[in-house]
Amino acid sequence: MSTTVTLGKALNMGLRKAMEDDPKVLLMGEDIGKLGGVFRITDGLQKDFGEDRVIDTPLAESGILGTAVGLAMRGFRPVVEIQFDGFVYPAYDQIVCQVAKLHARSRGRLPMSIVIRIPFGGGIGAVEHHSESPEAYFAHTAGLKVVACSNPVDAYWMIQQAIAHPDPIVFFEPKRRYWEKAELDTEAPPEPLFGSRLVREGSQVTVLAYGPMVKTALQAASAAEEEGISVEVLDLRTISPLDMGPVLESVRRTGRCVVVHEAPSNLGLGAELSARITEACFYDLEAPVLRVGGYDTPYPPSKLEEDYLPDLDRVLEAVDRSLAY
């Protein structure tokens, strides 16, 4: 059945489906019950699945993740909501030292089927700690998988696939795109969770993006087209592990690559992608891999976020630089 839904609604539908499919799936987080979460992603789920499966937790992120570990040991599949990106850090110790390592430490005896949902990124005019992009911290941690959805269709499928997956997954949701709409066919076959996807074909420059920046990259590609420049856009979807196949295939064709993310460039995903691309197709490159990211400053007050965040123009500028190389 096909309906037009927002990205937020698609996540809600995906969570509902996962809970229907597997009684071991539990949701945990702050304000996710009666309120349905500050972004309403869990709207109506407590009413339908009860307080034992949709749990309004005390206000303590380390507590949420720590208890999720115990629940996972007991065979449950906790899906935890971190209210905003900047509030995951009290749970960082549990995520990095426990969630990520227990499978290895127990020689596979302790499954850590935990999904950590984090609305991330800026662009909504919020105050401090509500606009950050902490994905690199998690991608750097062995044992964790990290994905980011960019559109309603992916949101619907990826959240279900993440919940069904045996490894712990940090699931980034592009909060400024929660209201973006698309046609969702819940019967169409989904794409694999850990696969990147070509979202716009082009021949001169490959632009890599994920989460909120996919839309920005697509806008830049349209603008470039008007100037006669052909830009190819890939939605990475999976951040760790990276799905390098489609990336390398594209870069070998275009010879040029620009990586875009909101997170600061310094040691961000762009750095890893650049290294892997350079290692794999050095002789195909016509220009160095360029990065467009946030600056290496704390996320600025919201009046300056448009200056901080990569936008269509900054992507185009990098595309021009790549072509001029």
Partner 1 sequence: MSEVPELTDQGFEPNPFGPHHDPIGSDPINADEQNPTEQPVLVQLLTPEGERVEHPDYSIDLSAEELQALYRDLALVRRVDVEATALQRQGELGIWASLLGQEAAQIGAGRALLPDDMAFPTYREHGVAWCRGIDPMSIIGLFRGCDSGAWDPIESKFNLYTIVIGAQTLHAVGYAMGMQRDGGQGACLAFFGDGATSQGDVNEAFIFSAVFDAPVVFFCQNNQYAISEPIEKQTRIPLYRRASGFGFPGIRVDGNDVLAVLAVTRRALEAARSGQGPTLIEAYTYRMGAHTTSDDPSRYRLASEMEAWKLKDPIERLKAYLVRSGQADAAFFEAIEKESDELAARVRRETVEMPDPDPASMFDNTYAEITPYLQEQRDTFLTYQAGFSEERSHA
Ligand X SMILES: Cc1ncc(C[n+]2csc(CCOP(=O)(O)OP(=O)(O)O)c2C)c(N)n1
> Known catalytic residues?
130
Structure tokens at 46: 């407590």
Name the residue nearer to ligand X (CB basis): 166 or 301.
301
Name the residue nearer to ligand X (CB basis): 32 or 102.
32
Give the dihedral of Cα atoms 210, 91, 114, 215; nearest 10 deg: -10
Among 47, 48, 59, 222, binds ligand X (CB under 6 A): 59
Closest by Cα among 182, 183, 180, 217 to 202:
217
CB of 314 to partner 1, least distance (A): 8
Contacts to partner 1 from residues 244-303, by CB under 8 A: 266, 295-298, 300-303
Q: Which helix (H) or strand (E) holds 254?
A: helix 244-254
CB of 300 to partner 1, least distance (A): 4
Contacts to partner 1 from residues 146-175, by CB under 8 A: none
CB of 248 to ligand X, least distance (A): 40
Among 43, 53, 63, 90, binds ligand X (CB under 6 A): 90
The amino acid at residue 171 is: F
147 neighbors 169 (Cβ within 8 angstroms): yes
Q: Is 127 in the site for partner 1 (CB under 8 A)?
A: yes
CB of 129 to partner 1, least distance (A): 5
Strand order in the sheet with 238-240: 54-56, 25-29, 77-81, 115-120, 169-174, 145-148, 238-240
Strand positions, DSSP E, 265-308? 290-294
92 binds, among ligand X, partner 1, none (CB under 5 to 8 A by kind): none
Among 87, 110, 219, 244, binds ligand X (CB under 6 A): 87
Tell me how far apart the alpha carbons of residues 188 and 25 are, in angstroms, rounded to a whole number.
23
Contacts to partner 1 from residues 30-69, by CB under 8 A: 30-31, 33-36, 38, 56-60, 62-63
19 neighbors 161 (Cβ within 8 angstroms): no
The amino acid at residue 145 is: K
Cβ contacts of 144 within 8 Å, gap of 6 or more: 95, 96, 99, 100, 138, 167, 168, 169, 170, 240
Q: Looking at 82-90, 144-152, 201-209, 220-228, which segment touches ligand X (CB under 6 A)?
A: 82-90
Tell me how far apart the alpha carbons of residues 246 and 189 are, in angstroms, rounded to a whole number.
20
CB of 59 to ligand X, least distance (A): 5
- Residues lying near partner 1 in the complex (CB under 8 A) are found at 30-31, 33-36, 38, 56-60, 62-63, 86-87, 89-90, 125-129, 266, 295-298, 300-305, 307-308, 313-314, 317
- Residues lying near ligand X in the complex (CB under 6 A) are found at 30, 59, 61, 83, 87, 90
